[in-house]
Structures are given as C-alpha cells and as structure tokens.
Amino acid sequence: MDLQTLVEPDRVHRRVYTDAEIFEREMTHIFERVWVYCGHETQVPNPGDYYTVRIGRQPMVMVRDRDGEIRVLHNRCPHRGVQLCGNTHGNTGRSFVCSYHAWSFHLDGSLKTIPLGAEAYRGTRMNKSNPDCRMKPAARVASYRGFVFASLAADGPSLGDFLGEAKVAFDDMCDRSPEGKVTVVPVCHRVIQHSNWKFFMENQLDALHPSVTHQSTGVAATRVEKRVIEEQGSAPLYYHMLSTFASSFEQWDQVQTLNFPHGHGILKAYMGLRPQDPDTRAYEALLVKAYGRKRTEEYLSRSIHHVLVYPYLSVQSPLQQLRCLRPLGPDRTLSEIWHFRLDGAPEAIYRRSLWYYNLVNSPATMINADDLENWTKGQWGLESDGGDWVSFHRHFGTDRREGDIVTSTKGTSEVVMRNQFDAWMQYMTRD
C-alpha cells in the first residue's frame, strides 16, 4: 500500500475513510502506539475500583491498586484468554478472579493463585515466576492533572511531549476550579457513530459547518431568545448556547484555529460564557480568593472553545466536557461523552455546564443528531463511486506557520484537516 498516493496537500483519497486494511494499520501505527485517554482518576477512587476501556483494538481495564496507584492492564486471563471484567465498571475487591477457571490476580496484575497449581502444573511453564502468567500491563501509564493515559508502546514521546500545547485543555478545566481539580460525573453518554473516526475529528474545529448544519436549531433559538429578552429584559444563558450556532459566515471567519504538531488543535472562543449574574459573580469571587485577581482573569480570559488531542479526544474545557473516540471499524466509531464538576465551585456553575452537556452534546439533542446525520451520509458517499477525492482546498495557500503553530487568514479555513493529515501521514508511514 503506497499511502503517499492517497494524501495530497489539498485533498485525500476516499480510501482513507473506507478501507479495512488502512483501518487496521491505523490501529497498529496510531491508536496502539500513542498515549490514549483511559479515564479520570476520580472514576476509580477506591482500591479495587475499575473501569474497562479500549485502546485501539485492545480491551483494557483501569484499576486502582491497594497502594493507591492506578494501573492499566489487558483485560484478559493468561490461562485461556477469558476477559476478567465483563462489566463496564465496578469494584473487584482485593483481586481479579477469572469466571472460567478461578485463576486470580493481584490488582497490579501479578498472579495470585492458580487452582490446583502445585500439583496440576508441576513441571510446566505455568507458575508465578513466569511473566506470561500475569495480566499484561500497558507499556506506559501516566496522568496529567488527574486525567489518566496509557500507551501500549514501550518507547515514544512522554505524555507531556505528546500533549504539547494541547495540555491547556486540562489546565483550563482544572484552573476554573477554586481547588484546582475536577471530579468526573460518573455516567457518560455513549453513541455509536456509523462513520469513520476522522469525520468527528475534522468536524470539531470546522468553523464553517455550524451555521449550515445547525441552522434550524440556531435560528429557532435566536427567535425565542429575542422574544424572552423583549418580555423579560434578559434570557437564560442556555438560549445563547444554541443561538450562537446561527452566526453568519463572516462571524465564523473571525474565529481562529490554532493547529499544533501531532494533529492537535484549538478552536478559539466564540461563545460568551461570562454573564454578570449573581451566580457568576459569586463564582468568580471564589476564584479571586483562591488565585488572586490577576490569575483569575488570566484563567477566565483564555480564548478556547474546543481543544483537540489528535486522534481521539475533544475537550470543551470552559464547559467541563470531554468526548473520546474508540474506533470500532472503518465505518463505526464509539464516542464517549463525559462531564466534570469543578471542585469547590457553586452548584449553579455545574448546572450551567450541564445545560450545554444535554442541549448540545447528548444523544438526544438536535445538534448532535445534525452532526451524526452528516457523518453517516458522508460515509455512504465515500463508499460510492461518485468520486475518489475529498477536498480540503478551502483557503489553501493561506496557511501561516509560526514555529510549531499553523494558522490561516480565515477562521473557516480547512487548515485543520490539512494539519491532521500531516500528522496522520507521519504516524502511518513510520516503522
């Protein structure tokens, strides 16, 4: 397979979205090598607490050990290969026990007991000194501000180097807490997208699509918002969360994207989220007390709406949301949509972000449904014989590079997609 023939500076071949062989290479060369988000440390607060997760094609389990350390292990018994954890989450007690033949393992994955071991396995290689008789750990595990990542590759950049400028996603979320940390809301939305994972990643920083794709919701919300303001003098912030989608093309062109190495990127803020209501003023007073006025203003003035951690994560830090992709096939992707509380912040601030979580990011909202429909139709179109190429020509030739950051003269530029495929090619063509 000559991947160089499939990716050009201003377009890519449809096969990169549809081909099963390419998808398998993405699993081995990207998802099973890079640092992949596993969860937040507050998902497993107690020893024995676990959450199951997929890294590429590999079923894994994130677990809190008795010493407080978080481990990420392959969810597989080394005896006959049975998955040890069948539930999404729970508490396994002091050990993992296989439901098939009762092999048991300490929370760090090391072998605890083999039934009939001394007699039944005498003279064989199946014993405690053999590393093949333990739950295989992820090659590397690290966390940043409570967000836990694992890599199945023993070598490669550190987590900090991989995240690079995209670390601001987690800094921005945690810095908005008066205590500098967040707690996960334990129930997330899960959606199966009938499309390639790249559709989602390209869409998140595409500043042109909102006023087209989400026009019906944005226009309707704008009409109601105006009526409420006329009748009551002001409207709740959640109307603004929807009406902003109906901004004009000219307004979207003013919303800049920043594009970083490894395919990461930022869509700058376009939504005003600092109303001067009593709840917001009380919240900001808590931040001033914790950090001082200068740092508080620095934190709240960051121009961020989305931060992408390529190739699988979208973080909306001002609204405490995180969406993580788990690719299942060339045309099938699981998205997990998580929500976080700011520790020490008033309940009203949590409720404000919860409105966005349910109005924009939940499976039931029209916003999410609009996107899902487009991505599904896009997948169908690329599987047809209507043409071979996907265009990324919009404002091609206007990209500007300053050090490692790539921008464009227009916010609606497809520089986002071009940057992501630069990273894709680097990952896919390495040894």
Q: For the segment 74-96, what is each residue's pLDDT rounded down to a tens digit?
A: 999 999 999 999 999 999 999 99
Q: How far apart are CA 111 and CA 294, in angstroms?
A: 53
3 state DSSP class of 342:
strand
Q: What are phi and psi of 418, to 5 degrees?
A: -65, -40
Selecting from 3.90.380.10, 3.40.50.1820, 3.40.50.800, 3.30.200.20, what CATH number does the domain 164-429 have?
3.90.380.10
Cis peptide before 261 (omega within 30 of 0): no
Q: How confident is the model at residue 220 (pLDDT cuts 50, 70, 90)?
A: very high
Percent of the chain with pLDDT over 70: 100
Higher pLDDT, 86 or 431: 86
Output the pLDDT for position 363. 87
Residue pair 408/255 in contact (Cβ under 8 Å)? The answer is no
Output the pLDDT for position 342. 98
Q: How far apart are CA 340 and CA 43, in angstroms?
A: 11
Q: What residue spans define the domains of the chain? A: 36-151, 164-429
- Identify the CATH number of the domain defined by range 36-151: 2.102.10.10
Residue pair 363/191 in contact (Cβ under 8 Å)? The answer is yes
Average pLDDT, the chain: 95
Cis peptide before 311 (omega within 30 of 0): yes
Q: How confident is the model at residue 122 (pLDDT cuts 50, 70, 90)?
A: confident
Taking the CB of residue 293, how many other CB atoms lie within 10 A of it?
11
**pTM listed for this prediction:** 0.95
Is the pLDDT at 14 greater than 80? The verdict is: yes
CA-to-CA separations, 202 to 50, 93, 139, 416, in angstroms, rounded: 32, 42, 29, 7
Q: For the segment 330-352, what is each residue's pLDDT rounded down to a tens digit?
A: 999 999 999 999 999 999 999 99
